[in-house]
Amino acid sequence: MIRKPLRSSFAAVLLASTATAALAQAVVVEPNQPPQQPVMVAPTSPPPPPREEAPPPPRQGYVWQSGHWRWDQGVYVWEPGRWEEARSGYNWVPGHWVEDGPNWRWIPGHWA
C-alpha cells in the first residue's frame, strides 16, 4: 500500500474546496441593464457614414438604429442599421464616436 503524505492530501482538499467556493459565488444581475459591450477605441476618426435608407419597420413599435462604423482589427467596418423593438417609457439614444485624447471611443446606442 502506498501512502500519500498528509501534506499533499491536505493541499488537494484545500484546492478543491477553494475552486468549488469560487464557482459557487452568487452573481447579481441588475434588471433592465444592457449587456456590457467591449470598449472600441480607434486611433483615427471614422469615415463619414454612407447613405443609408431604413427599410419599412417589421411592424409598429420599432425604432430604427442607424448603421455605424466599428473598429475591427485595425480597420473601420460598416455595421448596417437595424430595427430595434421599442421599450415603453424609453427613448433610443444612437451610438456615436467621440474624440478621446489622441484616439476615438465608441459610445454604444442605448435606451434612456
If we measure between CA atoms, which residue out of 108, 53, 107, 110 comes closest to residue 84? Answer: 110
- Residue 90: the pLDDT is 94
- Residue 88: the pLDDT is 92
Task: Give 109: exposed, middle or buried? Use CB within 10 Å, 0-12, 13-18, 19+.
Answer: middle
- Residue 43: the pLDDT is 83
- Residue 61: the pLDDT is 92
Domain ranges within the chain, ordered by starting residue: 42-112
- Residue 26: the pLDDT is 41
- Residue 44: the pLDDT is 85
- With H, G, I as helix, E, B as strand and everything else as coil, classify residue 49: coil
Q: Each residue's pLDDT tens digit in the chain (112 positions)?
A: 555 555 555 555 444 554 444 444 444 444 454 455 567 788 888 888 889 888 999 999 999 999 999 989 889 999 999 999 999 999 989 999 999 888 889 999 899 9
> Phi and psi for 80 in degrees, rounded to 5?
-65, 155
d(C-alpha 2, C-alpha 95), whole Å: 65
* Predicted TM-score of the model (pTM): 0.57
